[in-house]
Amino acid sequence: MKYVFKKTADYNLIAQRARDAQALSMEEFLAKYPGTEVLNDENLVSENNSTIDLQKKETEKIPEPKVKQWLGYNSKMFAECSIPSTMKKGLQVYERTNGKASLRLTAVSKEWDLPYGKDRWFFYWIQTKVIQTKSEVIEFNGQNSMLAEMGMSPTGRNVNWARETIMRAHHTLIYYKIGDPIRGGLSVGELIIPKLEGINFDVKGKRQSGKIHLSPYFTKISPIPIDFVMMQKLGRSWIGMDLYSFIRKRLHNHKGGDIYIKLEEVAKHLGFTSEMSSFHIKQAIQRGIQALIDTEFEAIPYLFQDYLVIPAVKLLNIRSREITEALDHFDAKTDGPDA
């Protein structure tokens, strides 16, 4: 059956409906949400244009998409501790801690600022290329090709951004640590892009044969699979993007009920400064949640007192299930401790 009800921007209600749709019988669900329309031609529950299959068996084979162009990857180090959302002119060192994980970015030249904001797309792109090619050397076929693979048009603004994001990463030393590196932990410290060759942004619209050499640790630390369709829908909501990766990782392998995470921990993950008040932190997170509501992601979080609550719902959208399989794959081959 298919439940269809009125759209709402109330994320608490959306999360509760998603849980109830899986936990309650049809009679109980209709009694709790009067006015809900029932369609009997499918065994589905629909919420805000997102469908949840209630009667899928765990053993059912998931059909393979012909081309998984929507499947991308985020670096684990940036999923655990995000980069800045806005440019901080003259900032030479950026450091964030989230649980056992800590990230420090250091600018090696005053000519270039640290990565921020839209540069997330560049890091998604290079991590995805590493997984696809199984190499830390990325073939650069020109700015138009690079932008097209990110779903961007080759406008003057995007071309300038592509040049600048490569240079920001090339001039940034990354130090990432999980736990104590001499007591079973892990630490990484080197340039994100130690070498560039054969890249010429003055050559417009022509195929190139340049190379972007990455830190090999982009291939050695398990990545976080992400949905490029979801990221495109989130637009310029950097907080929404970071929340998505954060939630996706937290839900994976979670067997219990709803997940309660202290806002202090979420704030550290999102890179909020210690000067921000609790009120402004909640406002910023609320904007990220609102961005997620406008997508088809099933696990919409909500704020409760001093916690961010992630509803323990099954992610049954076909792309979500594919991402769960990818997470299982990388968990099985992961090196080093988890944060």
Q: Provide the 3-class DSSP secondary structure of residue 72.
A: strand
pTM: 0.73
With beta carbons less than 8 A apart as the criterion, state whether 39 and 1 touch.
Answer: yes
State pLDDT tens for residues 82-97.
Answer: 888 888 777 889 888 7
Whole-number Å distance between alpha carbons of 176 and 105: 9
Tell which wins on pLDDT, 336 or 159: 159
Q: Pick from 164-173, 291-300, 321-330 the range whose average pLDDT is largest.
A: 164-173
Q: What's the token pair of residue 161?
A: 């951004």
Between strands 210-213 and 50-53, the pairing is unpaired
Of the candidates 252, 45, 228, which has an alpha carbon nearest to the alpha carbon of residue 121?
228
Check residue 55 and give its pLDDT.
37
Structural domain spans, the chain: 2-53, 71-220, 226-329
User: What is the distance of C-alpha 148 from the center of its chain?
Assistant: 20
The band of 317, judged by pLDDT with boundaries at 50, 70 and 90, is: low
Calpha distance 59→82 (Å, rounded): 36
- Residue 217's pLDDT is what? 73
Structure tokens at 224: 């976080």
pLDDT in tens, 278-299: 888 899 999 999 999 888 788 8
Q: Which residue has the higher pLDDT, 303 or 275?
A: 303
What proportion of the chain, given as a percentage, has pLDDT over 90? Answer: 23
* More confident position, 78 or 218: 78
Q: Which residues contact 46 (CB under 8 A, 6 or more apart)?
A: 2, 3, 4, 52
Average pLDDT, the chain: 78
Secondary structure of residue 182 in the 3-state scheme: coil
Does residue 172 register a pLDDT over 90? yes
In terms of DSSP H, where are the helices of the chain? 11-23, 26-32, 76-80, 119-133, 143-149, 156-170, 217-220, 228-234, 238-251, 263-270, 278-293, 318-332
